[in-house]
Amino acid sequence: MYKILFNRDIGLNPHSFMLPEPVQDIADYGAIPTTGLTSGHQGCAGCGMVSGTNQVLRALKLTGKHVVASIGTGCNEVITTQNTSCWGDASVDHNNFPNTGATLSGNIAALKALEKAGLASADAFINLGMAGDGGTYDIGLQALLAWIARGENGLYVCLNNQAYMNTGVQGSGATPFGTNTSTTPFGKVVHGNQRTPQYLPDLALAAGARYVATACPAHHRDLMIKVQKAAAIEGPCVVEIFSVCPEGWKSETDVFHEITELALETRSWILYEAERDHKNNTVLFTLNYAPKKYLPVSEYLQMQERFSGMRALSEMVEKTQEIIEARWSFWNPVLAANRTNGEETIHDA
Amino acid sequence: MMHDFTLRVAGESGEGVITVGETVARIAAREGLQLVTFRTFPAEIKGGACMMQLRLSEQKITYHGEKVDCLVALNQVALDENFPVLKEQGVLLCEAECDVPDDGLSATVYKVPFERIAVREIGSRISKNIVVLGVLAELLGIPKPRIEEFLAEKFAKKSEAILDHNMQALEKGICFARENFSKREGFGFPRGKPERHLLMTGNEAIALGSAAAGVKCFFGYPITPASEIMEWLAVHLPKLGGKVLQTEDEISAICAVAGASWAGEKSMTATSGPGVSLMSEALGLLSIAEIPAGIVDSQRGGPSTGLPTKTEQSDLMLAIHGSHGDAPRVVIAPTSVSECITMMGAAFYFAEKYQIPVIVLVDQALSARVETVNPRAVEEIPQSSRLRAQAPAEGNFARYKLANSPVSPAAIPGTDGCEHMVTGMEHDEFGNFACDDETHTAMTVKRFRKLEEIENDPLTQNLCETIGEGRADIGVVTWGSSAGPVEEAIQEARRLGISVRGLVPKILNPLPHAQMKKFFSEVSRVIVPELNFTGQLASQLRATYRVPTISLTKIKGVPLEPSEIVAKIIEAADGLQQRSARRYGRAG
């Protein structure tokens, strides 16, 4: 186990105790690199994953290093491999469904060997792993946790759209409670997904990740800060990106931001990050966004037809609210501190 | 009216192509017609070219047809890509703005401003496909009330306004055709018999057949093109007292099957080639631990992610040999949607009776195709149960008893007096780890003797279909969904005067040796058409029977076409003639 520490301040956080300098906030930087995920991809209209990948690549551009990506099978792979030029100057290895973490280790080992032979400098590269929630929470979990446990230097991004979308919307380990998917159908007796999803940052921290963060493309400054930090911090880092999916969530294609905002205001998605200090066995948690007024989760359920069955059942909505409150209660110390105008120092970041 | 009619609807995914095809299919089935469909899927999640082809007939058919009588093209790309499959005197129905190729002059062309009618007159672009349906109804003579009945059912859960839009679109389509076109004589829907058929996809049939065979536990992981099996069972199996569990990967799925089956329930999983690859270690476990299991492999283009939405028959070797060590299993391959139902019964018959894993090989084309099915097919499913053990009067229960029969009585865990261990390690009769040469030999022989018994099982004799009788110059052997085009090719070759027969083994491991040997003794040359690069059945036949074979392979992601097979038959027949001409010094 580790000791939990909280950052007193809520908000964007370009600092890390593991980095000598803060990373770039694109608001200060001026021009954002334009060569992220470029045209030619085949993402659906309103896809959050496209925007997420684009921002990840743009943020990595700010580091000036060459991206070597291992991408697992999934939506992101399907939409970016028919026209590989959309990856710009990144080198991409599409591997199988279960082994994004393992391939990442292979890449890292090879770079080390090349460096020893004087043929490359590992510093010039960023080892990026990318997979969906199915490839992360389910079939790829063993490879991911093993990669983290090896303590290697790299960045793993999970594009979480909360189900298997490219194969026809089957439930995954990240599917929210009550969701109607083709393998967790909403029926008269069984009402959609009966499981509560797991949380990737928890799993990654338990395995020993140095830095974990959640992000969403609608808050691009926050996302791009987190990706830069994950790229700069020594050791395995994991960023999970909330990826709106009109196809699987049965939502309109033009409400990308509205859905994200509702997810944040209802605390269905929480923006936070955590940095692990192995020496002192502590983890410093930072909450990056706290809604001024908590909206009831029923509002988040409205815009998405995947919840159309469960949102009509008050006991299911209540249980969803309970799941949210339980998760949010983790932040009570930092919220209490902020209510007293930050007088009470929980931790000096 | 025509006796046999083939229609292809082509457009972009999302344009409603499939709805048009499905509506015509459902109405045809209700009219008592037999039908087989074929559809392609774009690799994109949304958008991309797609098409659905339907062949309707008064007779039982097993193939979706090579050339079409009527082509509906909703855009220029669809027209250009699909025009070559239109018969010379066929009918083309296309969007008004499309340019018809110059060589299309012999076709009857109907140009309809589908999009304009939908947008201007209905006010909804997405009802374009219903306008198409209206025009088709008028040209083919599909009774309007039938379509209205179907639309009312399809949109029952939607608002009245949506249903209204669609009814209007249908009417506009019919009116446009009536006002602008004259119907072509003798062109239209075949007439059906006054009997109703079930209409389902291969995947639905597999799921239904499994439920009817008594499967109570399903474990699976999403994969194209097999996911619909799990999706169907997720809805229906719980109602039948069963359980469906989506696991975190295929390794877990097959191992959960092992657990559930050991505990006494008929259990299965369904996946595609990449999934079977992950499951292959557990296939060895199921073999050595003698645990019954059903594994459906809906093959797609490989290796790795390969062609995930396209068809191929390239997992035969994987199914027969995929695992480590000597690990016997049964492999069966249905050839039609109807057989998907009955073969699941056969799979569990073998699995339970012989306590062995059974792999059912289908492919994307068969999984996704819609076909009329006799509602009584479910009643034809063979039933079988596991040999149950009695607690021994004294001493320990011998789970793996070496006796005359290679099948030892099994006990549900927890049965008093039958406490036992099943294990993936080599074991003696009681399940104790034993790595001495005698035990390993005796147990391996025991496990492989099951295949000999299966070969002689009465059911196995029914799992081989012969086309034609007596001696023939050419014999065609094929498997799985390639049987449909092969059957048609043989008929065509016979019309051309070639002496040709066919053989379709539906059990591929063990092969039905008696029938195979008899067939090979009666034909002079053997052609083996299949959808893979290496000729996997052909090499299996060469290895087993030492017969020279002529491989006809195809890896284009689509089924074989009868004309390709006919060409090969002609080539082989010509070669044979030349050879005999040389031998007897006569002119060919």
pTM of the model: 0.93
Question: Per-residue pLDDT tens for A201-230?
Answer: 999 999 999 999 999 999 999 999 999 999
Mutate to test the interface with B, among A95, A137, A182, A251 (most CBs of B within 10 A): A182
**Pair B267, B360 in one domain:** yes
**Pair B283, B328 in one domain:** yes
**Pair B363, B431 in one domain:** no
- Give A193→chain B minimum CA distance, Å: 11
Question: Per-residue pLDDT tens for B105-148?
Answer: 688 899 999 999 999 988 888 899 999 999 999 998 888 898 99
Q: How far apart are CA B455 and CA B457, in angstroms?
A: 6
Sequence spans of domains, chain A: 3-339
In a domain, B422, yes or no: yes
Are residues A79 and B44, on separate chains, in Cβ contact within 8 Å? yes
**Pair B568, B513 in one domain:** yes
Q: End-to-end distance of chain A based on CA atoms, in angstroms?
A: 21
Interface residue A328 vs chain B (CB under 8 A) = no
In a domain, B55, yes or no: yes
Q: Chain A partners of B47 at a C-beta cutoff of 8 Å?
A: 42
Asked whether the predicted pLDDT for residue A329 surpasses 50, the reply is: yes
In a domain, B187, yes or no: no
The beta-carbon neighbor of A82 closest among B43, B224, B246 is B43
The beta-carbon neighbor of A183 closest among B230, B250, B274 is B230
The beta-carbon neighbor of A73 closest among B46, B278, B305 is B305
**Pair B402, B338 in one domain:** no
Output the domain CATH number for residue B534.
3.40.50.920
Mean pLDDT of A41-50: 93
Average pLDDT, chain B: 93
Q: Chain A partners of B250 at a C-beta cutoff of 8 Å?
A: 139
**Pair B294, B350 in one domain:** yes
**Pair B221, B360 in one domain:** yes
In a domain, B191, yes or no: no
User: Tokens 């334009």 sit at which residue?
Assistant: A34
**Domain with B216 in it:** 202-380
Nearest Cα residue to B53 out of B311, B374, B335, B371:
B371
Q: What is the pLDDT of residue B125?
A: 85
Question: Per-residue pLDDT tens for B183-192?
Answer: 777 787 887 7
**Pair B447, B491 in one domain:** no
Q: What is the pLDDT of residue A56?
A: 96
Domains of chain B: total? 4
Alpha helical stretches, state H, chain A: 26-29, 48-61, 75-80, 100-116, 141-149, 200-207, 220-232, 246-249, 256-265, 297-302, 314-328, 332-339
**Pair B66, B171 in one domain:** yes
Q: How far apart are CA B33 and CA B195, in angstroms?
A: 8
The beta-carbon neighbor of A183 closest among B46, B234, B238 is B234
A52, two tokens: 């997420």
Interface residue A114 vs chain B (CB under 8 A) = no
Q: What is the pLDDT of residue A346?
A: 47
Q: How far apart are CA A221 and CA B435, in angstroms?
A: 63
**Pair B158, B20 in one domain:** yes
Are residues B44 and A164, on separate chains, in Cβ contact within 8 Å? no
- pLDDT category of residue A341 using cuts at 50, 70 and 90: very low
Of chain A, the percentage scoring pLDDT greater than 70 comes to 96
- Give A314→chain B minimum CA distance, Å: 22
The beta-carbon neighbor of A167 closest among B47, B223, B249 is B223
Task: Quote the ipTM score.
Answer: 0.90
- pLDDT category of residue A344 using cuts at 50, 70 and 90: very low
Q: Chain B partners of A182 at a C-beta cutoff of 8 Å?
A: 227, 231, 234
Q: What is the pLDDT of residue A347?
A: 46
A321, two tokens: 């609210």
Among B380, B396, B420, identify where a domain stops: B380
Q: Chain A partners of B48 at a C-beta cutoff of 8 Å?
A: 42
Q: Which CATH architecture has domain A3-339?
A: 3-Layer(aba) Sandwich (3.40)
**Pair B210, B132 in one domain:** no
Helix (H, G, I), strand (E, B) or coil at A180: coil
